[in-house]
């Protein structure tokens, strides 16, 4: 198969987004548009990939800095799609295969469809093969003009079109395969002689037809997938489409979505088989959920790695942490970056864990804050236990051994270490290290004064009643 090179056009301004963020960096279902297009491009295993940047190019450049398989071309000023591709020709020097042109703002294009375009281009030995879409409202898009027999003739931009051409519903999707040498031959001949004063890439297609070369215009199977994102409304539509696609793929792979309409799974997320996602679940970023898990209603996970058989009872917020198999989470747990929850541990309601390791089988079930802590296995942490990790200037570490029992309402003032098997009595403020096996208590002695409670309360209630009566008078 002949080799391919990819050009991604991403220099345009995106005025209608009304944004300080470059258009192609806006996420569609969690992934920046340009990254989605790049992923589809990489599927072709191209010999070279060129991205044309321009408007707010530095930010796009920074965003793409990690990718070393790309050549970035700065197109300033932006004089049209024809100019954009022409600026790429030096980067394609010596390349004579197929140049695939994609738009950075058409994020929903599918790899298999693009593969079909390239395969058609190669099988039919055409010099240009492009995608079209039949749409209800063609608006400002380029119209595809065909002859009586349906053969492709040319593309006319809406602003240059005659009324009978504007009535055409088949539009140019802006996704093409070009023979590299055709681009070299024709791009220098493209002029700005049109309504917008721009260099139009589609003029190359007209030139190929004029040279009596074969040009193929293929309707894209699902038109909504090749409509560009130009506004926030388009962005929302594209995200909804991408989300639906992700949800359908999850269900096809054996994940139960109790209500797909209210389940939000970003495009980069993985979920294992037989996992159940309840309504309102929001899985984001690089989150990976294992098999046989149950994620309860309204829990959100960001960049979290979750093992098999985990049960989240809902309303939890989990970010940047690792949860091993068979862990119980929630309801209402907050797991912050750097939390590592080992196998079978329980993190209960209103428990916050930050930058801490919770050992296997340990239980922190109610109303606790655990920060900067190394906790061993089988520890029982009573309700209301707090690690006092911050002294106003520095964070300090708490180390808790295995099989420790911590009574309710304990404060562990870090830095502090609790040895294996220690028992800490309820209400203790631990300020010194606790040796293994010790019983530790800090508690003021209790005093019982017989009858004094009743006496006090009777008097208080009497005063309250008198006050109430005075008010009514």
The residues binding ligand UD1 (CB under 6 A) are: 9-12, 52, 75, 78-81, 83-84, 103-105, 141-142, 155, 157, 171-174, 200-202, 228
Residue 256, CA atoms < 13 Å, CB-side half-sphere: 11
* Cβ nearer to ligand UD1, comparing 168 with 399: 168
Q: How far is the CB of 133 from ligand UD1 (least distance, A)?
A: 9
Q: How far is the CB of 188 from ligand UD1 (least distance, A)?
A: 16
Rg of the chain in Å (alpha carbons): 32
> Tokens 């520890």 label which residue?
379
Other CB atoms within a 10 A radius of the CB of residue 147 amount to: 8
CA–CA separation, 268 and 419 (whole Å): 42
Q: How far is the CB of 275 from ligand UD1 (least distance, A)?
A: 37
Angle at 166 (CA atoms; ends 165, 167), nearest 5 degrees: 85
Packing angle between helix 111-123 and helix 33-43, nearest 10 degrees? 40
* Cβ-closest position to ligand UD1: 142
- Asked whether 289 and 275 are in contact (CB, 8 A), the reply is yes
* Cβ nearer to ligand UD1, comparing 13 with 432: 13
* Cβ nearer to ligand UD1, comparing 78 with 428: 78
Q: How far is the CB of 271 from ligand UD1 (least distance, A)?
A: 32
Q: How far is the CB of 121 from ligand UD1 (least distance, A)?
A: 19
Pairing of strands 322-323, 340-341: parallel
Q: Is 125 a catalytic residue?
A: no
Pairing of strands 300-302, 317-319: parallel
> Tokens 């790429």 label which residue?
88
* Cβ nearer to ligand UD1, comparing 156 with 342: 156
* Cβ nearer to ligand UD1, comparing 140 with 451: 140
DSSP string, 363-383: EEEES-EEESEEE-TT-EE-T
Point out the catalytic residue in the list 213, 237, 317, 366. 366
CA–CA separation, 310 and 335 (whole Å): 14
Residues assigned a catalytic role = 366
């Amino acid at each position: 198969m002949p080799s391919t090179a990819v050009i991604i056009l991403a220099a345009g301004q995106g005025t209608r987004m009304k944004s300080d963020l470059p258009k192609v960096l806006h996420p569609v279902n969690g992934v920046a548009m340009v990254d989605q297009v790049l992923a589809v491009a990489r599927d072709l295993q191209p010999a070279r990939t060129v991205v044309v940047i321009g408007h707010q190019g530095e930010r796009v450049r920074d965003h793409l800095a990690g990718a070393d398989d790309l050549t970035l071309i700065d197109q300033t000023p932006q004089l049209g799609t024809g100019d954009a591709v022409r600026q790429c020709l030096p980067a394609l020097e010596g390349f004579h295969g197929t140049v695939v042109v994609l738009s950075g703002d058409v994020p929903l294009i599918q790899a298999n469809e693009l593969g079909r375009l390239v395969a058609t281009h190669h099988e039919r030995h055409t010099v240009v093969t492009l995608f079209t879409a039949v749409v209800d409202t063609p608006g400002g898009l380029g119209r595809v003009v065909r002859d009586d027999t349906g053969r492709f003739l040319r593309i006319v931009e809406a602003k240059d079109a005659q009324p009978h051409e504007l009535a055409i519903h088949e539009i140019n999707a802006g996704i093409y395969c070009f023979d590299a040498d055709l681009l070299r031959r024709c791009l220098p001949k493209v002029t700005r002689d049109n309504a917008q004063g721009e260099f139009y890439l589609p003029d190359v297609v007209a030139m190929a037809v004029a040279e009596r070369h074969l040009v193929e215009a293929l309707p894209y199977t699902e038109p909504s997938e090749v409509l560009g994102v130009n506004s926030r409304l388009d962005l929302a539509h594209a995200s909804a489409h991408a989300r639906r696609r992700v949800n359908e793929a999850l269900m096809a792979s054996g994940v139960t979505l109790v209500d797909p309409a209210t389940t939000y799974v970003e495009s980069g997320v993985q979920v294992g088989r037989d996992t159940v996602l309840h309504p309102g679940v929001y899985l984001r970023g690089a989150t990976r959920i294992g098999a046989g898990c149950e994620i309860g209603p309204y829990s959100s996970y960001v960049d979290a790695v979750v093992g098999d058989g985990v049960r989240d009872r809902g309303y939890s917020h989990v970010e940047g942490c690792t949860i091993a198999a068979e862990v119980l989470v929630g309801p209402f747990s907050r797991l912050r970056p750097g939390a590592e929850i080992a196998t079978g541990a329980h993190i209960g309601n209103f428990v916050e864990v930050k930058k801490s390791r919770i050992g296997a089988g340990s239980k922190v079930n109610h109303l606790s804050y655990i920060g900067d802590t190394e906790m061993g296995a089988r520890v029982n942490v009573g309700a209301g236990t707090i690690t006092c990790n911050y002294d106003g200037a520095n964070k300090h570490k708490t180390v808790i051994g295995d099989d420790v029992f911590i009574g309710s309402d304990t404060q562990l003032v870090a830095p502090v270490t609790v040895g294996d098997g220690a028992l800490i009595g309820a209400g203790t403020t631990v300020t010194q290290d606790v040796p293994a096996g010790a019983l530790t208590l800090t508690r003021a002695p209790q005093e019982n004064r017989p009858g004094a409670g009743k006496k006090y309360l009777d008097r208080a209630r009497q005063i309250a009643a008198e006050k109430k009566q005075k008010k009514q008078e």
